Structure 1
Amino acid sequence: MRPVAALAIGALALAGLTACDATGATGATTSSSLTAEQAAALLDSDFYDTSLVHSITIDFDDDDYQAMLDAYSETGDKGWISATVTIDGTVFEQVGLRLKGNSSLRGIGSDSTADTDDDGADTGAPAAPDSGDGSVNTDDPETLPWLIRLDKYVTDQSYQDRTEFIVRGNTSESSLNEAVALELIGLSGLATEKSAAVRLSVNGGDDALRLVMESIDDDAWNDDAFEAGGSTYKADSGGDYSYRGDDPAEYTDVFDQKTGDDDLTPLIDFLDFINNSDDATFAADLGDHLDVDSFATYLAMQDLTANTDDIDGPGNNSYLRYDSETGLMTVVAWDANLSFGGMNGGMGGGFGGDGGDRGAPPDGATAPDGEAPDGAAPDGAAPDGGPGGGDNILATRFLADSTFSALVDTATTTLTASLYDSGDAQDVLDRWTALLTDQASDLVPEDTLQEESDTIAAYLTAAE
């Protein structure tokens, strides 16, 4: 780790310190709304300690910011700028900062139909017609989704062994839905990303409550999540799981390799099998290509968390992890901010085995704004998996096979008992709700927090 300095407790809480800023900004300031007690607790704490609301401040040159927005508006490219970032009182300079996401950036720029992969390259495809991840306002950069990369310009710069931090977009004010969903995914035994509730301030502006999470693109996350070596591939939102031949160049617009040796061969072989094997071969040999038990658990958890934006949702939201020792692929869960019905303005969700009644909120839950009544899909939306979704070849073939679909049913029954009937899921929700009520009610009103918590609780009850 190569931080510039650790700030003194009193200054962190009360005054805020400035630091030399290579971007030309006036200086790094700490959150003005932290109490001395909160600031003291944050110093030297684990950033993903969920008993605390953490603090991140970002400072950058306004001209750099505007140039970045102009470039995104004109081309869809997500360019990097340099910033000073303070994490729980530790200052880092020359940090890479760029916009993060696709649907979460709707409304920025004049061309909202162009689709880009998450590295900013134009895929040439229309953007997936989903509902977005909440409102964004470029005049209030603390509302935007961001990727913070500590080692973009300074080699080996990291914080607690992590080089990347993702500031998530969400349709709710609290982001409780994604925080709870991520933790439940981890309790199911699947690899998941840790998250932290954060007070985020940009260029001395007001604090906003945001959810910040680990990045699957981070080598350190992969090392912690998977025992064996291998490669991690991200499905781009403008692509699909189709087989496009054996030329790696044909996959550059649909998958990005994030970790491991630069080799798409395992991915291409896997896509060849799931697309081109006949049904008998698929049933007999899928276990030689995919961790089928893990995938059954994945599908069960996406349904149990009512996530309409999963592998068969509008953007193929998933990663594939190739284990070089076993030769198996694992589908890694990603993008849970539309879990539990997407909360306010989301796309709806529910429980129904293989993604059945995802359009209707459970009894007692409030339907998100703009949702079609009585569980009907919104205009133009597929009834399963959200608009443009419901047609991932792997999920479709897996669920069409009686043996594999039975694994999903078994996983759903087991996880319902262990997470929901046991009360563990409610305990997770209660803990997150109490945290935000106790430490962030100045950022989100208590009645809003309680309303959003109650909406999730209705989904948890419906799953029992």
Structure 2
Amino acid sequence: MNSVRTPTPTRTGGLRRRGAAGLAALALGIGSLGACSTATSATGSAATSASVEGTVWDASSVHEVSIDVDDDEFAAMLATYQESDEKDWLTADVTIDGQTISDAGIRLKGNSSLRDVDADSDPADLPWLIDLDKFVDGQSLDGWESFVIRSSTTETSLNEAVALALLDEAGLASEEAVSISFSANDSGSTLRLMVQDLDNRWDEATFGTDGTLYKAEAGGDYSYRGDDPEAYDEVFDIEAGTDDHEPLTDFLQWLEESSDEEFADGLAERLDVDAFATYLAFEDLVGNFDDIAGPGNNSFLRWDAEAEQMTVVAWDHNLAFGATNGGGQGGGGVPGGAGAPGERPEGMEPPAGMEPPVDGERPEPPEGMEPPAEGELPEAGGVPGGGQGGQGGQGGMGGMGGMGGNVLAERFLATPELADLYDAAVADLQAELFDSGTAQEVLDAWVSVLGEQADDLVDAATIELEAEQVASYFDGQA
């Protein structure tokens, strides 16, 4: 696979970046490589790798990543974050697969994953954004400058790794992901997931057209705030492409002010509706409630200047396949915390009308919500908050889709002809990803990599348990 290439359109209007070839490469690479890749090269130019195999994004290896940061600077950064929520950049030496890049930039990455940050936080436990050329222009590794060390709600991160691979198999924009042995300041190593940052390099490699990538912020929403770009400072960040807010504000204004008839007739001119239907269906099938309609507002809008159309880009799948935020990094994310399937984490209460049956009797649903008949999928738009329904979205402990609400998702699913696209996408993805065995192949490949190369970081019983949790979604009955 080329690192920068022309994307191939799919039936959804999304983009296939790895597809079957990437899955085959992952499966074939298992057992043939050592504990980490040694074919990487640190460079001061913007060179790109010829393929994923043997590079930092080779998923058939568990890679080694470490950071070395000054203790006093780290403590000052923590104090600033606690006082103001500002995420200051630090200078660090970053070593990836034996290649050390000096004076790289690192900063905290995330929102809810940082809720427990305090003065005693260990840098080895935190989520990080690494930018190799933040302070020294041109520094890169295999042509890539930015890497995200993800926070995880499970010990293996299998749920997010599998979700990202399947997102790509669905023909939607995804990001490369690899398992890593991570350490900081000579700490012990822990198993983490490292993914691509959605930056200019990623945008060019994924879409190959001029445009702008807008990241929705956790505290924002999709409401129209006028045409002043400053009104969106805390709502949308421009992560890649042209520094232009006009396509965003025009879209949000139309989304807010259009009548139902105008919305039904005009959305396809402004949004890739096939890709969005696939996105909504996918998030439900993988049980990710923390999506565009979830409490974290996790999504990007990508404006394609050539097509003059928006595309919703997925982000943040560490709660996919029913994982919860209860345990934080290093465990507790599988329902039941220590691994008891179906148990609710301490302090977590479901919304009204979604409580489990008592003595066989269902609770009364919230006003205006009609529960599905036994064994049927929820109707589109039938989730509290107006978010999407679907098998996965309601299936596991993560299944509380729509708690945050999103006007685009709500209006989409309330429009019959658009809801039909969603229903068709659910059926298609269930057949293509799960019934076909593709999802199980992806999961098996990741399990094999961890079992053979990360047995010093996670025990076999944990891998098996967390793999079973993921696989429980594959038949659509989780």
Indicate the residue corresponding to 2:311 in structure 1: 330
The answer to whether the 8 A contact 1:101-1:145 is kept is: yes
> Residue 207 of structure 1 aligns with which residue?
189
Amino acid at match of 2:242: D
Q: Which residue pairs with 2:11 in the alignment?
A: none
Scaled by the length of structure 1, the TM-score of the pair is 0.78
**What CA distance in whole angstroms lies between the structure 1 residues aligned with 2:430 and 2:401?**
27
Partner of 1:19: none
For residues 110-153 of structure 1, give each alpha carbon's deviation from its aligned partner in whole angstroms, at most 9, with x where no partner exists.
Answer: 9xxxxxxxxxxxxxxxxxxxxxxxxxx71x32111011010100
Matches within 5 A, 1:5-24: none
Which residue identity does 2:81 align to in structure 1? Y
Alignment correspondent of 2:431: 417
* TM-score, scaled to structure 2: 0.76
Aligned pair in 2 of structure 1 residues 158, 345: CA closer, same or farther (>3 Å)?
Answer: same
- Once the two structures are superposed, residues 335-364 of structure 1 have per-residue CA deviations (whole angstroms, 9 ceiling, x without a partner) of 0111011157379xxxxxxxxxxx99xxx9
Task: Provide the rounded CA distance (Å) in 2 between the counterparts of 1:68 and 1:248.
Answer: 29
C-alpha contact (below 8 Å) 2:64/2:180 kept by paired residues: yes
2:155 corresponds to 1:179: no
Q: Is the 8 A contact 2:319 2:325 kept in 1?
A: no
In structure 1, stretches of 5+ residues that fail to align are: 1-36, 111-136, 348-358
Letter of the 2:425 counterpart: A
Please report how far the alpha carbon of residue 367 of structure 1 lies from its aligned counterpart in structure 2 after TM superposition. Answer: 3.7
Match of 1:436 in 2: 450
What amino acid does structure 2 have at the position aligned with 1:58? I
- Secondary structure of the residue aligned to 2:276 is helix
Structure 1 distance, partners of 2:435, 2:202, is: 31
SS in 1 for 2:141: coil
Q: Does 1:142 align with 2:124?
A: yes
Matched, 1:104 2:118: no
Runs of 4+ in 1 over 6 A off after TM superposition: none
Amino acid across the alignment from 1:251: Y
Given the superposition, is the C-alpha separation of residues 425 and 291 from structure 1 closer, same or farther in structure 2, using an over 3 Å criterion?
Answer: same
Equivalent residues in 2 for 1:157-168, closer than 5 Å: 157-168=139-150
2:175 matched to which residue of 1?
193
The residue that corresponds to 2:12 in the other structure is none
Structure 1 position 434, deviation (Å):
1.3
Which residue number in structure 2 is paired with residue 396 of structure 1?
410
Give the number of the structure with larger relative contact order, counting CA–CA contacts within 8 Å between residues 6 or more apart: 2
2:246 match: 265
Which residue matches 1:7? Answer: none
Distance 2:318 2:458 in 1: 18
Distance in 1, matches of 2:114 and 2:154, equals 15
Residues 434 and 326 (structure 1 numbering): CA distance in 2 closer, same or farther, change over 3 Å?
same
CA distance in 1, matches of 2:430, 2:138: 42
- Deviations 1:199-219 (Å, cap 9, x if unpaired)? 001111100100000011x21
User: How much does 1:155 deviate?
Assistant: 0.5
Q: Secondary structure at the match of 1:428?
A: helix
Whether the 8 Å contact between 1:314 and 1:387 is mirrored in structure 2 is no
Aligned counterparts of 2:477 and 2:250: Cα–Cα separation in 1? 37
Q: How many residues align?
A: 383
Following the alignment from structure 2 to structure 1, what is the Cα–Cα distance between the partners of residues 308 and 178? 33
Counterpart secondary structure, 1:162: coil
Q: How does 1:28-427 map to 2 (within 5 A)?
A: 38=34, 41-44=37-40, 45-109=54-118, 138=121, 140-216=122-198, 218-342=199-323, 345=326, 365-367=341-343, 369-370=345-346, 371-372=348-349, 376=355, 383=384, 386=400, 389-427=403-441
**1:196, 1:178 → 2: CA distance?**
11
Residues of 1 paired with 2:81 and 2:439: CA distance? 39
- Cα distance in 2 between the residues matched to 1:375 and 1:50: 38
Q: Using the alignment, how far apart are the partners of 2:253 and 2:446 within structure 1? A: 43
Unaligned runs of 5+ in 2: 1-32, 41-53, 329-334, 357-365, 367-382, 388-399
> 1:346–1:310: structure 2 CA closer, same or farther, 3 Å change rule?
farther
How far apart are 1:109 and its partner, in Å?
3.6
Contact 2:104/2:132 (<8 A) preserved: yes
Q: Are the counterparts in 1 of residues 36 and 97 from structure 2 also a CA contact under 8 Å?
A: no
The secondary structure found in structure 2 opposite 1:180 is helix
Question: CA shift at 1:387, angstroms?
Answer: 8.8
Q: CA deviation at 1:402?
A: 0.5
Aligned partners of 2:289 and 2:402 also within 8 Å: no
CA deviations on 1:214-251 (whole Å, 9 max, x unpaired) are: 011x2110011102110000001111000111222211
User: Sequence identity, in percent?
Assistant: 47
Contact 1:343 1:368 in 2 (8 A): no
Q: Determine if contact 2:36/2:64 at 8 Å carries over to the other structure.
A: no
C-alpha deviation, 1:462, in angstroms: 3.0
**Cα pair distance change 1:249/1:343, threshold 3 Å:** closer
Question: Relative to 1, partners in 2 of residues 1:54 and 1:299: Cα closer, same or farther, differing over 3 Å?
Answer: same
Q: Following the alignment from structure 2 to structure 1, what is the Cα–Cα distance between the partners of residues 78 and 325?
A: 27
